[in-house]
Chain A
């Protein structure tokens, strides 16, 4: 098992493996998105209070979950890279960041769209939305630091430190924002979700989250592949691949 792990943790063996996995995960993502959207838009019942506008949560909630998961996974890869000094984990961390940032943005965007019909305003200083916004800032900082440093090895190591510091802070930020929200209760309406959600609604959300996972894996693998080509461009095997494609 460990040997297998080591075998695939070298860029040279990982590159073709990733190439084979991308279509699989892409296909899974498409199928799951189709199922999830069908469940969410056709099967799940209309909300008695909010009508059909609530249906955006199938994207909103799944995207918000993903944005948080991805940050933790990213920091995990960053830590692995720091401890064992493996190139591939650095690339994983770096490739996850743009997707995580995108999901954070999507969560905010759909949150605003959901807010307009529900509370009559695009933005409320709700605890969840606010911490999502700060999470987006954390992603932006990570991406900015990574791209500001020219040397790829230094960029990877520096941003790994930032990701680990960030992930320790994420729960503190989350809870501090919640407490801040309770202190200033009068200022905003907290958009609590209906306490009892129909089982189909939960299932639809879960399927959408899985679909986003599959999409994330496919995109990240593709990004890692191109980064491998870029960073290993001086090696023999990459030259062979490039020569074959010409």
Chain B
């Protein structure tokens, strides 16, 4: 379970939001909404521990993530605006390095089946620099299928994906939720993952009225 307490976020002089409180239970999906510049990406980065909040805490299973970073990182898979792929490496190499770094080494078969599932098996052994934006995004998303991260934090995961890939990803997320995992995401697209466990929050509620 992820808990957010009294979170305040500043960018330079501007206070983006403050006094934010919410929880994300296992098996739940939280869709973070808000207007441009309301701090969606900042919130996601704070939750991953990449950005230092001005005040407040983020805790995972009751423990502050800043004090239990390794433990939390094991449970986390973050896909941000950047795909986090090395252009000079192939899709398989990229995924294999990622898997080993996160402490869940994957066999070639596991990696290939992950690529199969995102529909990219035919490009598995090409340097990722020759892939299109959408294909690169799919390689990045294939990370979700490797390793046992329970919390997925996805910043605009549907960017550059075609209709078919979007519905594939929705399926992947539904499976993850059914297995008790949780998802935190931002997106501009109207997506329905599963009606029972889907919740929305809007950052504009916590925006400081200047």
Contact = CB atoms under 8 A, between A and B. Distances in A.
A156 to B, nearest CB: 12
A116 interface: no
Contacts, number: 12
Contacts of B52: 153
Nearest to B210: A234
B155 to A, nearest CB: 20
B74 to A, nearest CB: 26
A16 interface: no
A153 B210 CA distance: 21
Interface residues of B, number: 8
Interface of A: 150-153, 231, 233-234
Contacts of A152: 12
Given A150-B12, A151-B11, A153-B10, 9 more contacts: A151-B12, A152-B12, A153-B52, A231-B13, A233-B13, A234-B13, A234-B14, A234-B15, A234-B210
A236 B125 CA distance: 59
Q: Give the secondary structure class of A's interface.
A: loop
Interface of B: 10-15, 52, 210
B78 to A, nearest CB: 20
A152 B52 CA distance: 13
A153 B10 CA distance: 10
B209 to A, nearest CB: 12
A148 B57 CA distance: 30
Contacts of A150: 12
A228 to B, nearest CB: 13
A245 B210 CA distance: 22
A151 B51 CA distance: 13
Contacts of A234: 13-15, 210
12 contacts: A150-B12, A151-B11, A151-B12, A152-B12, A153-B10, A153-B52, A231-B13, A233-B13, A234-B13, A234-B14, A234-B15, A234-B210
Contacts of B11: 151
Interface centre among A150, A152, A153, A231 (most CB of B within 10 A): A153
Nearest to B11: A151
Contacts of B15: 234
Contacts of B12: 150-152
Nearest to B54: A153
Contacts of B14: 234
Q: Which 3 A-B pairs have the closest CB atoms?
A: A234-B13, A151-B12, A233-B13
Contacts of B210: 234
A150 B13 CA distance: 11
B39 to A, nearest CB: 15
Nearest to B12: A151
Contacts of A233: 13
B55 to A, nearest CB: 10
Contacts of A153: 10, 52
Contacts of A151: 11-12
B28 to A, nearest CB: 32
B6 to A, nearest CB: 15
Nearest to B10: A153
A153 B9 CA distance: 12
Interface centre among A150, A152, A231, A234 (most CB of B within 10 A): A234
Interface centre among B13, B14, B15, B52 (most CB of A within 10 A): B13
Interface centre among B12, B14, B52, B210 (most CB of A within 10 A): B12
B179 to A, nearest CB: 38
